[in-house]
Homo-oligomer: A and B are copies of this chain.
Amino acid sequence: MTNSDNILIIGAGLCGSLLGLRLGQRGYNVTLVESRPDLRTTDISAGRSINLAFSDRGIKAMNMVGLQSKVEELCIPMNGRMIHPTTGEPFLSPYSGREDEYINSISRGGLNALLLTEAEALDNVTIVFNEPCTHVDFENKTATFKNAITKEETIKTADIIFGTDGAGSVLRKSYFLERKFLFSFSQNYLTHGYKELCILPANDGSFKTYKNALHIWPRGDFMLIALPNLDGSFTVTLFLSFEDGAYNFNNLNTPEIVTEFFTKEFPDALALMPNLIEDFFDNPTAALGTVKCSPWHYKGNTLLMGDAAHAIVPFYGQGMNASFEDVVEFDNFLDKHDGNWETTFKNYEKSRKIDTDAIADLAIDNFFEMRDHVANPMFQEKRKIEMALENQFPSQYASKYSMVTFNEDMGYNEAMVTGRAQDKAILNMIADKEIDLNSDLKSILNQILEETKELLDEDRVAKTMNH
């Protein structure tokens, strides 16, 4: 497979480096340009998103490029949420009733390095670092870069330009600001921000708390989470309102009040974090935003992918998985329309956008689930029923979480629509005391499936009229 088109990819983060690798494997001449230094030779940890949740949609992408076994070495399986309630002992709430379904904690840097190295090994892929893009002329297919060290400006031309330059994409900004076509765009911020903290390894290098879980301290309006790293540490993230509530990022401004807050709300976490105050005041507080836009492409010239096209909040652990799935889906459309870029771009977006819109909305829903509902008795009853169903009827039942996370052949939108109806069915059956936990599981399963189908049918009739 060879192709003489010259491809320019702006941004060699996770999405860009996977795309570069895949297009390189397909035989294109690829130039990948990254604004930051080479993370394999420079320590550029920006104090955020050190590790990420990696699951089946991401794994599918690694299989596509033949890297699954290499990636496995970077993974720490997390079988469920370890919930730390305000009072009482922590308990594990599994992600699935099927034993082979779990998510992983993976190092962003380690995974990015692997993808860069694999891409670079191809003769037809070139990677350039320290070259921030300052402007894209999407009409003439040129991009301007200003070297971060020499400050020298260069202009690169290409047959096709991809913008995989993240939530602050320069290509997307040029679509927005140049007003050459109708560009739908949204940026929506939560009223909460986040700050990364750390639980360091024990002196013997071991994990200070249970390794194979995503730890959550749900507190209603805010929460703390922790994901394990290979070196025995945990990356901890505090999600908290900027302005509202008794404690918020605006008023947590002295060591005393931060200590007071953690002592009151997260005493068991605080006991593992002697470094809390230093981390808290060294690390930035960041915003949580969702970006949607359309069109992603301009003619057959340029295309946005990954966070540049659809930045989402982190609460479903799907940000990287969704970006990797972009590349898998795009690869399928290349098979269908290879050589006709405009048709490829148009059909890819038409098929893909409904799914990236869905995961954006699901990620916001999950913020409420994580910070609040995991500690709610009705939610816990629902999860208990669902775990039993997944365990007893592994091929007949999947929770919304399982559909989103473990059913990589079901699109996000289908998972959202079906999963929401199913949740609604179960919650209403619990509220109306229509689920008899003493009856056999098989009849509970049928009851839920039937009620879900009815809700979906009702929506369909109403929707026929509404859109």
Residues of A at under 8 Å CB distance from B? 182-189, 242, 287, 289, 292, 365, 368-369, 373, 376, 378-379, 382, 420, 423-424, 427-428, 431, 455, 458-459, 461-462, 464-467
B462 engages A427 (CB within 8 Å): yes
Smallest Cβ distance from A358 to chain B, in angstroms?
14
A191 and B90 CA atoms in complex are apart in Å by 51
Residues of B within 8 A of A465 (CB): 369, 373, 376, 378-379, 382, 423, 427
Closest partner residue, chain B, to A368 (CB atom): B467
Closest partner residue, chain B, to A187 (CB atom): B185
B368 engages A458 (CB within 8 Å): no
A431 and B462 CA atoms in complex are apart in Å by 10
Contact check: which of B185, B368, B458 meets A424 at CB < 8 Å? B458
| Most chain B beta-carbon neighbours within 10 Å: one of A185, A455, A462 | A462
Smallest Cβ distance from A192 to chain B, in angstroms?
11
Task: Using A182-B189, A186-B186 as known contacts, say yes or no to A368 and B427 having CB atoms under 8 A apart.
Answer: no
A427 and B461 CA atoms in complex are apart in Å by 7
A461 engages B428 (CB within 8 Å): yes
A459 and B186 CA atoms in complex are apart in Å by 27
Residues of B within 8 A of A379 (CB): 465
Residues of B within 8 A of A369 (CB): 465-466
A462 engages B424 (CB within 8 Å): yes
Residues of B within 8 A of A427 (CB): 461-462, 464-465
Closest partner residue, chain B, to A455 (CB atom): B458
- Interface residues of A, dominant DSSP: helix
Smallest Cβ distance from A434 to chain B, in angstroms?
12
Residues of B within 8 A of A184 (CB): 186-189
A185 and B365 CA atoms in complex are apart in Å by 20
Residues of B within 8 A of A182 (CB): 189, 242, 287, 289
Closest partner residue, chain B, to A458 (CB atom): B428
Residues of B within 8 A of A458 (CB): 424, 428, 455
B189 engages A188 (CB within 8 Å): no
Closest partner residue, chain B, to A424 (CB atom): B462
Residues of B within 8 A of A183 (CB): 187, 189
Residues of B within 8 A of A186 (CB): 184-188, 292
A144 and B423 CA atoms in complex are apart in Å by 53
Smallest Cβ distance from A286 to chain B, in angstroms?
11
B365 engages A466 (CB within 8 Å): yes
Smallest Cβ distance from A291 to chain B, in angstroms?
10
Q: Across chains A and B, which 5 residue pairs bring their CB atoms closest together, nearest first?
A: A186-B186, A424-B462, A182-B189, A184-B188, A431-B461
Task: Using A187-B185, A189-B182 as known contacts, say yes or no to A423 and B462 having CB atoms under 8 A apart.
Answer: yes
Given A184-B189, A368-B466, 6 other A-B residues pairs in contact with their CB atoms under 8 A: A185-B185, A185-B186, A423-B465, A424-B458, A427-B464, A431-B461
B365 engages A467 (CB within 8 Å): yes
A189 and B175 CA atoms in complex are apart in Å by 14
Smallest Cβ distance from A222 to chain B, in angstroms?
16
A464 and B428 CA atoms in complex are apart in Å by 11
A183 and B455 CA atoms in complex are apart in Å by 36
Smallest Cβ distance from A353 to chain B, in angstroms?
13
A185 and B291 CA atoms in complex are apart in Å by 10
A461 and B429 CA atoms in complex are apart in Å by 10
Question: What are 15 A-B residue pairs whose CB atoms fall within 8 Å in the complex?
Answer: A182-B189, A182-B242, A182-B287, A185-B185, A185-B186, A186-B187, A365-B466, A365-B467, A369-B466, A378-B465, A420-B462, A423-B466, A424-B462, A427-B462, A427-B464
Closest partner residue, chain B, to A466 (CB atom): B365
Smallest Cβ distance from A214 to chain B, in angstroms?
20
Residues of B within 8 A of A292 (CB): 186
Residues of B within 8 A of A373 (CB): 465
Smallest Cβ distance from A212 to chain B, in angstroms?
27
A459 and B378 CA atoms in complex are apart in Å by 15
Smallest Cβ distance from A213 to chain B, in angstroms?
22
Smallest Cβ distance from A294 to chain B, in angstroms?
8
Closest partner residue, chain B, to A185 (CB atom): B187
Residues of B within 8 A of A462 (CB): 420, 423-424, 427-428
Residues of B within 8 A of A376 (CB): 465
Residues of B within 8 A of A185 (CB): 185-187
